[in-house]
Amino acid sequence: MTIEQQILLTEEFVKQNLKGYDSGHDWWHIVRVRKLALFINEMELLADPFTVEITALLHDTADSKFAGRDNEQSYLLIKDFLDSNGMSDIKDQVMNVIKNVSFSSKHKKENPDDPLLWVIQDADRLDAIGAIGIARAFNYGGFRNNPICIPGEESENTGRSTIGHFYDKLLKLKEMMNTTTGHKIAEERHKILEKFLEQFYSEWYFGN
């Protein structure tokens, strides 16, 4: 099987497995993360580009929030897919990233010092900030029917509203970047979050 065929088959597998996810985790999130990951890797030369591409494609296929099965079942499915399509040689690397990539990962970090993980994690985190990050946060909040903002919550860090989520997670991501390239892009996107919050509060507290 050629590399091109393996990529196509992985795309199809991912599309099948993302059904039922919220639209912030849809195929277009995967497309954006793939581009960011390949770009970061091109700049930093940290991992094999084919492995980066396959891992970026697969990185969200085991999210128990959406997948409708537990993580272990998803891991088996993904391993099976890699074995059946001539990708056994990259299986361990891919699985390590899938298990560790999530911000909210409850799993013990098996191998957090993996350059492939740095690349994919940075790409995934970049898609959670900037204009796209804001769109995804409000989309997720709507999906959960969370309030947009709970006045006073910002300082308490309770994170029940989408604005609260900015303080719980989004504003922290810039300093959590693994790579120099990721950090550079994050700085730009972080500024967008700050600008947005400033304007948001000026409108929320209009007339006060």
Only one of the segments 1-9, 77-85, 90-98, 119-127 lies at the binding site for Ni ion (rule: CB under 5 A); that segment is: 119-127
Only one of the segments 112-120, 124-132, 136-144, 159-167 lies at the binding site for Ni ion (rule: CB under 5 A); that segment is: 124-132
Q: 198 to each of 22, 130, 132, 166, how far by Cα in Å? A: 27, 14, 17, 12
Q: Of the candidates 6, 124, 190, 197, which one interacts with Ni ion according to CB under 5 A?
A: 124
Q: Kindly write out the interface string for residues 155-174 of this chain, putting x where it contacts ligand ADP by CB under 6 A and - elsewhere.
A: -------x--x---xx----
> Does 63 interact with Ni ion (rule: CB under 5 A)?
no
Q: Report DSSP letters for 136-156, one per residue.
A: HHHHHHHHTT--S--TTHHHH
State whether residue 63 is helix, strand or coil.
coil
Q: Kindly write out the interface string for residues 89-118 of this chain, putting x where it contacts ligand ADP by CB under 6 A and - elsewhere.
A: -------------xxx--------------
> Does 130 interact with ligand ADP (rule: CB under 6 A)?
no
**Distance separating alpha carbons of residues 175 and 62, to the nearest angstrom:** 26
3-state secondary structure 81-116: HHHHCCCHHHHHHHHHHHHHCCCCCCCCCCCCCCHH
Q: Of the candidates 58, 133, 163, 189, which one interacts with ligand ADP according to CB under 6 A?
A: 133
C-beta neighbour count of 170 within 10 angstroms: 25
Report the interface residues with ligand ADP, using CB under 6 A. 24, 102-104, 124, 128, 133, 136-137, 140-141, 146, 162, 165, 169-170
